[in-house]
């Protein structure tokens, strides 16, 4: 019965895929064929997403009808029958979208209903981010597009679906810390697997073939030394504008390593008070070295060796210090980009706040690996500047006194919006980030 009720949806998808196949658009054809499979997830958001795709499909039929009719009129050929057939298909597609709204369907697809809108939002936001790249950037950036031109659209569909599913997982407060670490580590693994494949001779896995060191400090030092290569700084600043310092808790390919290193110890230790001056000094040294190397005309081989040495010291910091303290010392003390993310991130209005009902029990301190919730911070009712909006502390306060905040939004909404944005950026980075 369910299949019969959903038959119009399946038929509409098949008509659309046949249309795209006829005009040679492989990506949209694959999306049309795969879209009804979303129904297998039994989620409310999948109904919303399918409705949007079917509405887009109906618009495509209307546009196609108008174009065909214009051509026939121009060649003085009969067009009425064609217009009726294509118009009927457009109306059928529209009705299929409407059927998904039926009460019966809404009842059937009710799992995790409370997360339906955010998940649909993550699907749409991820799709828009990647569609802009697919349309605007001349170089094919998505992996499937590199292997089979046109299939980038199918990859966008897959990544958007991934974003919707992960949003659902991340919105459950008890699961957020675990899922944040999982997806962060997954991103880092995908990033470095592509680098290894690229170095092994599969060039499609590299961005352009112009290699640079996968060390966050190079985001700033690289362009200062080379005098070019602003892609990574622009990407970094864009994420900071959208989600503040959350680059350092969700998006950085190296930060995931520090998170794994520190995670071995159950309770993080407080870091020494000199951590901030040391971090500032390291940042100044990195910036000054890059500028001096450029002015003196030092060869790129020596610059690369210096960069590599800096990266290896960072790994040693993770292995020796982060593992021992359970705090992310590499990110909080050593990495210059972490400092910039913390400072620049304050431009963005997302914050973590401790409300006035807090009893100063200090339990939340044990969930913060960024050394941002010491007792003095708790008493001030706001985390230290090293807070990366990771959200781990929210669940640790059983009374819910720690919240996300954003001007004009209630705490719950602020958290939802934040998660939709960060998961969408994460999914987009999965598709785009490579060396």
Would you tell me which residues interact with ligand SF4 (CB under 6 A)?
216, 248, 252, 254-255, 258, 331, 335, 337-338, 341, 352, 367-368, 370, 372-373, 383, 387-393
Contacts of 290 (CB under 8 A, 6+ apart): 220, 221, 222, 224, 225
Closest to ligand SF4 by CB, 9 vs 390, is 390
Question: What is the DSSP secondary structure assignment for residue 40, as one 8-state letter?
Answer: G
| Nearest one of 416, 421, 419, 410 to 124, comparing CA atoms | 421
- Minimum separation from the CB atom of position 385 to ligand SF4 (A): 10
Closest to ligand SF4 by CB, 16 vs 422, is 422
Rg (CA), the chain: 25
Closest to ligand SF4 by CB, 143 vs 171, is 171
Q: Are 369 and 327 in contact (CB under 8 A)?
A: yes
Closest to ligand SF4 by CB, 123 vs 236, is 236
Residue 390 tokens, joined: 């990771």
d(CA 203, CA 432): 15
d(CA 337, CA 341): 6
d(CA 68, CA 82): 8
Closest to ligand SF4 by CB, 152 vs 177, is 177
Closest to ligand SF4 by CB, 205 vs 310, is 310
Treating both helix axes as pointing N-terminal to C-terminal, what angle do 411-432 and 116-136 enclose, rounded to 10 degrees?
40
Closest to ligand SF4 by CB, 97 vs 252, is 252
d(CA 253, CA 195): 12
d(CA 413, CA 416): 5
- Minimum separation from the CB atom of position 361 to ligand SF4 (A): 15
- Minimum separation from the CB atom of position 310 to ligand SF4 (A): 12
Is residue 383 classed as helix, strand or coil in its secondary structure?
Answer: coil
Closest to ligand SF4 by CB, 57 vs 345, is 345
**Residue 112 region, left (φ>0) first, then alpha (ψ -120 to 50), else beta?**
left
d(CA 402, CA 410): 13
- Minimum separation from the CB atom of position 231 to ligand SF4 (A): 16
- Minimum separation from the CB atom of position 401 to ligand SF4 (A): 12
Beta-bridged to residue 256, according to DSSP, are none
Q: Read off φ and ψ for residue 406, nearest 5 degrees.
A: -155, 130
- Minimum separation from the CB atom of position 405 to ligand SF4 (A): 12
Q: Read off φ and ψ for residue 253, nearest 5 degrees.
A: -70, -20
- Minimum separation from the CB atom of position 373 to ligand SF4 (A): 5
Closest to ligand SF4 by CB, 145 vs 342, is 342
- Minimum separation from the CB atom of position 377 to ligand SF4 (A): 8
- Minimum separation from the CB atom of position 306 to ligand SF4 (A): 18
Q: Are strands 402-405 and 351-354 parallel, antiparallel or unpaired?
A: antiparallel
Number of helices and strands in the chain (H, E): 20, 2
């Amino acid at each position: 019965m369910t299949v019969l009720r959903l038959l119009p949806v399946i038929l509409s998808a098949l008509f659309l895929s046949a249309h795209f196949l006829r005009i040679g658009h492989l990506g949209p054809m694959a999306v049309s064929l795969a879209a009804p499979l979303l129904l297998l997830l039994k989620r409310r958001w999948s109904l919303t997403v399918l409705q949007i795709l079917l509405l887009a499909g109906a618009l495509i039929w209307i546009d196609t009808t108008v174009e065909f009719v214009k051509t026939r009129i121009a060649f003085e050929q009969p067009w009425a029958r064609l217009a009726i057939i294509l118009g009927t298909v457009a109306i059928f597609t529209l009705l299929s979208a409407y059927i998904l709204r039926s009460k019966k369907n809404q009842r059937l697809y009710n799992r995790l209903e409370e997360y339906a809108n955010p998940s649909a939002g993550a699907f749409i936001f991820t799709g828009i981010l990647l569609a802009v790249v697919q349309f605007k950037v001349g170089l094919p950036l998505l992996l499937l597009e590199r292997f089979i031109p046109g299939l980038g659209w199918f990859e966008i569909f897959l990544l958007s679906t991934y974003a919707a599913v992960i949003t659902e997982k991340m919105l459950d407060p008890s699961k957020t810390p675990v899922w944040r670490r999982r997806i962060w580590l997954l991103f880092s693994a995908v990033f470095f697997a592509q680098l290894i494949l690229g170095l092994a001779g599969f060039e499609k896995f590299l961005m352009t073939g112009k290699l640079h060191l996968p060390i966050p400090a190079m985001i700033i030092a690289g362009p200062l030394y080379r005098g070019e290569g602003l892609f990574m700084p622009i990407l970094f600043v864009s994420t900071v504008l959208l989600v503040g310092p959350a680059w350092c808790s969700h998006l950085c390919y190296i930060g995931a390593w520090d998170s794994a290193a520190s995670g071995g110890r159950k309770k993080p230790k407080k870091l020494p008070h000199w951590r901030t001056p040391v971090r500032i000094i390291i940042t100044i040294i990195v910036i000054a070295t890059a500028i001096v190397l450029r002015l003196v005309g030092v060869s790129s081989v020596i610059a690369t060796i210096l960069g590599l040495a800096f990266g290896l010291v960072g790994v040693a910091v993770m292995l020796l210090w982060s593992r021992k303290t359970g705090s992310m010392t590499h990110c909080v003390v050593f990495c210059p980009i972490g400092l910039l993310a913390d400072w620049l991130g304050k431009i963005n209005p997302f914050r973590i706040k401790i409300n006035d009902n807090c009893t100063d029990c200090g339990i939340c301190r044990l969930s913060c690996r960024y050394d941002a919730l010491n007792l003095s911070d708790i008493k001030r009712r706001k985390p230290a500047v090293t807070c990366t909006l990771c959200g781990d502390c929210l669940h640790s306060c059983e009374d819910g006194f720690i919240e996300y905040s954003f001007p004009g939004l209630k705490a719950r909404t602020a958290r939802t919006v934040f998660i939709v944005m960060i998961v969408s950026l994460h999914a987009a980075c999965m598709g785009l980030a490579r060396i």
